[in-house]
Amino acid sequence: MTGPDGTARVRGLPVGDRALLLEVDTGEAAQALHAELLRRAGAGTLPAVREIVPAARTVLLDGVADPRRLAAEVARWEIPPLTGGDGDTVEVPVRYDGPDLADVAELWGVAPQEVARIHSGTEFRVAFCGFAPGFCYLTGLPDHRHVPRRATPRTRVPAGSVALAGPYTGVYPRSSPGGWQLIGTTDAVLWDTARDPAALLSPGTRVRFVPERTAGAARTPHAGKEASA
Amino acid sequence: MTDSAFAVVRAGALTTVQDLGRAGHAHLGVPRSGALDEPALRLANRLVGNPEGAAALETTLTGCAVRLRRAATVAVTGAPCPVTVDGRPAAWGAPVRVPAGALVEAGAATHGVRAYVAFDGGVEAERVLGSRSTDVLSGLGPAPLADGAVLRLGAPYGPAPAVDAAPCPGPPRELVLPVVLGPRQDWFTPRALRTLATGGFRVSAASNRIGLRTEGPALERARDGELPSEGMVLGALQVPPDGRPVLFLADHPTTGGYPVVGVVPESHLPAAAQAVPGTALRFAPRHVR
């Protein structure tokens, strides 16, 4: 939703005395707002904040001296729409071998191998992270490719699972319970605290999933152990 | 004499290494973590001559015991508890000089939940994203202490200050927490907001470092449906579908999809972290200034 002049409307909701939740109407507007906040923080024109936490329709600014004043200021900003080309693209190698691949193909009305072609042909962008360190919510699939969560969550989803839920694609950084539809597996290491940065992906990162050549059932289970992105 | 290790003789219910946590990584899904009773950690460190943010041990209800291989200055703060050195009573809330080889024990809390055991030089665990804190939600930082584990102390920073004892606030018998309403108070009925202001709640035994759970009246929602995930702050009072508010503490998830009816200011969270299960709890909501 946009205002009469075509710019996104930003509502500022104070969160306690030291934080501000900026709310917009769409996920795309939230990503554009987040990009603008990072740009201003980098340029030194944003008041000091401890955390900038994007999410589905919001960006949280935590550790703000005067949330009300900042809310009034943000309401006056013009927020440029997201541009396609900026920033590096991280390539994540994937074997499209997930146990829910057939179910997703059925939901999409395509053959299973088409799921790999469509998914790997999409440019994704990290909208936000959460749930676990290094778990990112990637957008990019069009509305008609959105899928529901599994009716019954799995008690254990293996690390490296590439999964879909709602409008998002995600990669499980470590084994955990989860209800997303599993379409593939990657050997990329999403989170490694011995590495700097620890997170392979962070909000705003562009991502492409690259199908790995697999010779049918003959693929070697230990191929490509290192992070290859 | 130069051996900086110490051995865990009795780990207690849950003893973790804590410093001031790892702020600044919430956008990656990393909780802040850090000592739940931060003033108590800072005090313990001052008493032994450390910078206030050095790492110490945070115990839960039952204390812990460690055997030191080097002589050390030790201070126990937070929840009051009997302190002993080789079985002999020693001061709580004061620096205690302990010889090499001594067994230092913080006993069960007489009231309150979390005691802080600081050593001169601090606990020398590996830093993860700038902090030595154990984060029980995401598993970052050193593992919780286990019987027989061996940890290390850092080099002492300098002479401990000359002090006999420091005054510490005792944990409250009844917990009254101010709540700044919002950002999602409009997800609740007017009656729910009255219930929040007047209801008698209790601290649930299911509370942990992630959140203080409450028992008592449920807060009724004014609207159904799911809130898209949004960023969560320390002190957020989040209301899950059962209507019973959960107060987010240091290891809270960084995003969440249940509405936050209000936020408890950080200065009141140490008292919340010291409230034992069953403690009477009231909320004092106010609208944002």
Mean pLDDT over A68-94 rounds to 89
**Chain A residues closer than 8 Å to B182 by CB:** 13-15
* A55 interaction partners in chain B (CB closer than 8 Å): 228-231, 255
Q: Which of A51, A52, A193 sits opposite B140 (nearest CB)?
A: A193
In whole angstroms, give the CA distance from residue B112 to residue B170. Answer: 8
pLDDT at B158: 82
**What is d(CA B88, CA B101) in angstroms, rounded to the nearest whole number?**
14
Side chain identity at residue A59, one-letter code: V
Q: Is B230 on the interface with A (CB under 8 A)?
A: yes
Q: How far apart are CA A206 and CA A86, in angstroms?
A: 9
Omega prior to B183 cis, within 30 of 0? yes
Chain A nearest CA to B230, separation (Å): 5
- H or E stretch at A102: helix A101-108
pLDDT higher than 70, residue A4: no
- Asked if pLDDT for residue A220 goes beyond 60, the answer is no
Q: Which of A62, A70, A126, A176 to mutate to test the interface with B (most CBs of B within 10 A)?
A: A62
pLDDT classification of A227: cutoffs 50, 70, 90 = very low
β partners of residue B214: B203
Structural domains in chain B plus CATH codes: 5-152 (no CATH), 174-286 (2.40.100.10)
Given this model, what pLDDT does residue B152 score?
Answer: 97
Residue B287 contacts A, CB cutoff 8 Å? no
The candidate with the shortest Cα–Cα distance to A200, out of A79, A96, A90, is A90
pLDDT for the residue B3:
85
pLDDT value of position A222: 41
Q: pLDDT, tens digit, for every residue of B38-62?
A: 999 999 999 999 999 999 999 999 9
pLDDT tens digits, residue range B241-259?
999 999 999 999 999 999 9
3-state helix, strand, coil in chain B (%, to 5): 10, 30, 60
Euclidean distance between CA atoms B30 and B139, whole angstroms? 10
pLDDT at A85: 62
Enumerate the residues of chain B whose CB falls inside 8 A of the CB of residue A17. 180, 263, 265, 288-289
Q: Determine whether A65 is exposed, middle or buried from the number of CB atoms within 10 Å of its CB (0-12, 13-18, 19+).
A: exposed
Kindly give the parts of chain B with pLDDT less than 50: 1
Neighbours of B89 (CB within 10 A): 10
For A46, A83, A206, B136, the CA distances from A39, given in Å and listed in that order, are: 9, 13, 17, 33
Mean pLDDT of A3-10: 62
CB contact under 8 A, A55 and B138: no
Q: What's the whole-number mean pLDDT along residues A105-109?
A: 97
> Measured between beta carbons, which residues in chain B are less than 8 angstroms from residue A172?
none
Name the closest residue on chain B to residue A127, using Cα atoms: B27
* Portion of chain A with pLDDT greater than 90, in percent: 85
B229 in A contact zone (CB under 8 Å): yes
* B28: nearest CB among A17, A57, A202: A202
Q: Which helix (H) or strand (E) holds A210?
A: strand A206-211
Mean pLDDT of A84-106: 91
Q: What is the pLDDT of residue B289?
A: 56
**Strand-pair category, A181-185 with A161-165:** antiparallel
Domains observed in chain A: 8-79 (3.30.1360.40), 90-211 (2.40.100.10)
Q: Please, are residues B74 and B95 in contact by the beta-carbon 8 Å criterion? A: yes
Pairing of strands B88-90, A206-211: unpaired
Q: What is the pLDDT of residues B88-99, one digit of tens each?
A: 999 999 999 999
Cβ-in-10-Å burial (0-12, 13-18, 19+) of B82 comes to: middle
